[in-house]
Amino acid sequence: MRIRYTAAALEQLERLDVSTQKRIVDKMDFFAMQEKPLSFAKHLIGYRAYRFRIGAYRVFCDVESFEILAVVAIAKRDDAYKDL
């Protein structure tokens, strides 16, 4: 599965410190290489999105035809669900 980051997600990622950025990108790459990457995610009830937990951060993704995992938002756990 390929990963595509939206402009908003890239902006949110750039605001984080470098070690957190690396951790999130590495973990998302790991998930994408798995046979069933969505087995590591939780489907958000009432939304088409999935949520991956990476430490204190939540990465919200949209799946497009099971070929592309589009990262749409990255937020710290405390603030992650405020704008849903």
Q: What is the DSSP annotation of 31-53?
A: HHHSSSGGGGSEEPTTSS-EEEE
Within a domain: residue 82?
A: no
CA distance 73 to 62: 10
Within a domain: residue 81?
A: no
pLDDT tens digit sequence for 10-42: 999 999 999 999 999 999 999 999 999 999 999
pLDDT tens digit sequence for 42-64: 999 988 889 999 999 999 998 87
CATH of the domain at 70: 3.30.2310.20
CA distance 6 to 42: 20
pTM across the whole model: 0.84
Within a domain: residue 20?
A: yes
**Residue of 71, 78, 67 lying closest to 25 (CA atoms):** 71
CA distance 37 to 30: 9
Cα 44 to chain centroid distance, Å, stands at 12
Within a domain: residue 84?
A: no
Instruction: Residue 44: give the domain boundaries.
Output: 2-76
Please state the domain count of the chain.
1
Within a domain: residue 64?
A: yes
Within a domain: residue 21?
A: yes
